[in-house]
DNA sequence: CGAATGACCAAGC
DNA sequence: GGCTTGGCCATTC
């Protein structure tokens, strides 16, 4: 799309809202859906500003781990939200880990 | 416009 | 899985 960089956030929000409960997606995956597979960092950056309008907890890193630590939303909360949705989250060495093989969302 | 920043990613040890 | 290195890119200063 042409200079739709203004819709970058909107597009991220749009795809994020499509992630069904009980599933998870990776930052790189979302970035790929927007045609900018290398802008994974921006996805996280965008989500940070929309934690109240999208299921941000369903987006994790490519390793299946919750790397959040620098913001006001503790990874402990994200893990709790995911578990509450039916996603099995394992705590390992202080980090939360999700089995992508079983819970990764497959966009149509 | 240049430089720093960040909820990332892949590759190598 | 954990740590380090190099690279991406939009946003902010």
Could you report the per-residue pLDDT of A37-71, keeping only the tens digit for each? 999 999 999 998 899 899 999 999 999 999 876 66
Which residue has tokens 């996805």? A43
pTM: 0.91
pLDDT at position A2, please? Answer: 47
Contact present, A25 and A19 (Cβ < 8 Å):
yes
Within 10 A of A15 (CB to CB), how many other CB atoms are there? Answer: 21
More confident residue, A71 or A94: A94
How much is the mean pLDDT over chain A?
Answer: 89
The CA–C1' separation of A85 and B10, in angstroms, is 30
Average pLDDT over residues A13-40: 94
The set of residues with CB closer than 7 Å to nucleic strand C is A 5-6, 8-9, 36, 38-42, 45, 63-65, 92-95, 97
pLDDT at position A95, please? Answer: 87
């Amino acid at each position: 799309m042409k200079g739709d960089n203004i819709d970058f956030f909107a597009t991220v929000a749009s795809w994020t809202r499509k992630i069904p409960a009980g599933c998870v997606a990776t930052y790189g995956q979302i970035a790929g859906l927007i045609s900018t597979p290398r802008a994974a960092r921006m996805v996280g950056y965008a989500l940070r500003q929309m934690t109240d309008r999208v299921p941000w907890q369903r987006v994790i890193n490519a390793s299946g781990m919750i790397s959040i630590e620098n913001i006001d939303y503790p990874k402990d909360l994200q893990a709790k939200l995911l578990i509450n949705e039916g996603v099995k989250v394992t705590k390992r060495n202080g980090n939360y880990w999700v089995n992508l093989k079983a819970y990764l969302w497959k966009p149509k």
